[in-house]
Amino acid sequence: MLFRSNEATTRERVLEACYACIARHGLDRTTVEDVAREAGLSRATIYRAFPGGRDDLVRETVVWEMGRFFGGLAEHVAGAPDLATLIEDGLAYARAAILEHAVLQTVLRTEPERLLPLMTVEVDRPLRFIVGYLEPFLEREERAGHLRPGVAVPDAAEFIGRLLLSLIGSPGRWDLGDPLEVRLLVREQLLAGVLTPEALAAS
């Protein structure tokens, strides 16, 4: 049986408390005192866990929540039979999760200007996750002869990953809650320059 260290459990307790405070008060109005009160811990304990203080705590909470978000995403798309289905399922899940996400909705409502700098600083984390998930599917398509001539797996994975991040954050005219529209977007826009027409027709 595995046991987490007290340090690990305290850190997670603080992160959960910070998440709750941001959802309630927003990013700028959340203080170390709020988090300590929410967690039932002293300020000294908070500072021991996060020596950089409030900014460090908020940043680490964003990173921690990204990990939870992408963990849920990975679980949702596990078992997808092909690349197109993987992306369709992932887009639909991500958009729905964002619409229900307490912190994101609070920040978007009260201080939207704070979201872009945070996402810009941390953009490499979700991009690396998405690229890492896409590459095995693209390699499978490559082995099957389904990639268009000249398409390299690493370049295609990063290209698709960046487009997906953009769409998740700002879908524009696309309704990611409509399965038929998502299918059209993925197969006629995102993957049209990556997979052969035969591969797209068969998936």
Locate 10 and state its tokens.
């305290």
pLDDT, residue 119, reads 59
Each of the 203 residues of the chain gets a pLDDT tens digit; together they read 333 345 558 899 999 999 999 888 888 889 999 999 999 999 999 999 999 999 899 888 888 888 888 888 889 998 899 999 999 999 988 888 888 887 777 776 776 666 656 555 556 778 888 999 899 999 999 999 999 999 999 999 999 999 998 888 778 898 988 999 999 999 999 999 999 999 888 87
Closest to 73 measured CA to CA, from 15, 5, 129: 129
Task: Return left, alpha or beta for 77; rule: phi > 0 is left, psi -120 to 50 is alpha, else beta.
Answer: alpha
Structural domains of the chain, ranges and CATH numbers in brackets? 1-58 (1.10.10.60), 79-202 (1.10.357.10)
pLDDT, residue 50, reads 94
Give the containing element (helix H, strand E) for 96.
Answer: helix 83-99
pLDDT, residue 113, reads 65
Q: pTM here?
A: 0.77
